[in-house]
Amino acid sequence: MTVAPSAPALSGDIHDPTSAAYKKARRKHWKSTRNRPENRADTEWTPFRAAEKNVLDVAAADPSRLEETARGGWRGRADAVECTQISLRGGRTGFMFPGTPGLVLLPAFAAPVDQRSLIRWALCEQAQDPNETNLDTHYVLPKSGLWNTYIRVLRGECDDEEVVPRASVVVQDESATVPPPPGPRQLISNEPASTDNLVALAGTSKPRASPSQALRPVPISSLVPKLRWANIGWFYHWGTKQYDFTKGPGEIAASVRGVCRSAVDAVPWDEVFSGQNAGPLADWGSHEPDWVNWRETYEPDAGIVNFYQTNDTLMAHVDRSELCATSPLVSVSLGCAAIFLIGGHTRDEAPTPILLRSGDVVIMSGPACRRAFHGVPRVLEETLPPHLESTSASDDWDPYASHLRTTRVNVNVRQVFPKGFDPVSEMDPRK
């Protein structure tokens, strides 16, 4: 069945043009985006920009999430987008989208205790050596990890020492890529991965970006809000939008693997891809639609932890670097809420706007959905749910709660190779 309508908008609702929340959001939006090409006077908004105005928020129809949805004045509507309710294994409820076959939303799939556990893992365990982060290009980070060192500073166990810029201690690598000049961000059109070009894509290591020569030493505490991503599993090279397989497979924590596998296992895929939602057989490749066996064949082996701040955006893009081009991509939202947009195969197709809250899981699967443009245009301030606030004076969660008030953590996991595939053997150029 379709989603029930939500309650009437609150007086401070973001959708009420007369409210203070609406006016504040409008001012902040234009301040943060006024220099983008699509916002200049001689250019009209793309459908992706316009779609932010009417957002699906399934939590608005859930009485148990009332305190959460009332925070920050950010509240969408449960009837804003056509979607169909589905029953998940274990008695929970999910939603699929007829307009985007293969897109599945699992509201509040990660329980509060699991959300805290995943956030601790992301900051304490994943965002440290040997997993590369966005800061490793420019700074020599503590071996114990930036966040772990920051916690020691807060506890008075060490000083808030300065982190040294990498350019001051490392000889310039002539093979390193040069950072792009200032200005609007540019999309990189990479070649989709396949068994035909795998050897060519994986034959050489991808050059690391050159560290900035203009940086100065900075305290550990000042770098924490600048953490943006940490790699999971196979290393993803942002400069080429391809994996650098020469770095090896990396590890994926059992807790993360468990959440992703349980999400895929919970979905009734026969219902999601029934009838016209199945799509043409040709779109699935040379074999029959592989959703039939996902409960046995889905094996996450790569991903990224994204750390968004409330003024960050992720422009519309397509993920096409995985050999498994239709396998589920599982995305877990933690911390502040965000608007997620997913459209079609061009930016000219109006996207589906979804408000994702902490604990929500989105699964992108199948040829239509995995090849769709998607992005995150907004992270919403003051939307941290109550269960991620500190609960007592003795709670060691306080530093996390403080950081999360302006942060969204996104654990984004996908499958690069089919289960049982031997990449070392397959990528041997002598074959």
Q: How far is CA 198 from CA 71, 242, 244, 416, in A?
A: 47, 11, 11, 11
Q: Give residue 419's pLDDT.
A: 84
pLDDT along the chain (431 residues), means of 10: 39 57 64 51 59 86 93 90 94 94 97 97 96 94 95 94 89 52 51 60 66 93 96 86 83 95 97 80 74 93 96 89 92 97 90 96 95 94 94 82 97 91 64 56
Three-state SS at 242: strand
Task: Give the list of residues 6+ apart from residue 157 with CB closer than 8 angstroms, or none.
Answer: none
Q: Give residue 122's pLDDT.
A: 98
- What does the alpha-carbon distance between residue 326 and residue 291 come to, in Å, rounded to a whole number? 8
Neighbours of 395 (CB within 10 A): 11
Q: Give residue 87's pLDDT.
A: 97
Q: Set out the domains of the chain in order of their start, with CATH numbers.
A: 45-116+246-426 (2.60.120)
Residue 70's nearest CA partner among 309, 385, 310, 408 is: 385
- What does the alpha-carbon distance between residue 402 and residue 135 come to, in Å, rounded to a whole number? 21
Q: How far is CA 371 from CA 106, 268, 283, 422, in A?
A: 20, 21, 11, 25
- What does the alpha-carbon distance between residue 266 and residue 260 come to, in Å, rounded to a whole number? 10
Peptide bond into 5 cis (omega under 30): no
* Terminal Cα-to-Cα distance of the chain (whole angstroms): 52
- What does the alpha-carbon distance between residue 330 and residue 319 come to, in Å, rounded to a whole number? 13
pTM: 0.83
CA Rg value for the chain: 22
Residue 220, exposed/middle/buried by CB under 10 A (0-12, 13-18, 19+)? buried
Q: Give residue 25's pLDDT.
A: 63
- What does the alpha-carbon distance between residue 20 and residue 294 come to, in Å, rounded to a whole number? 47
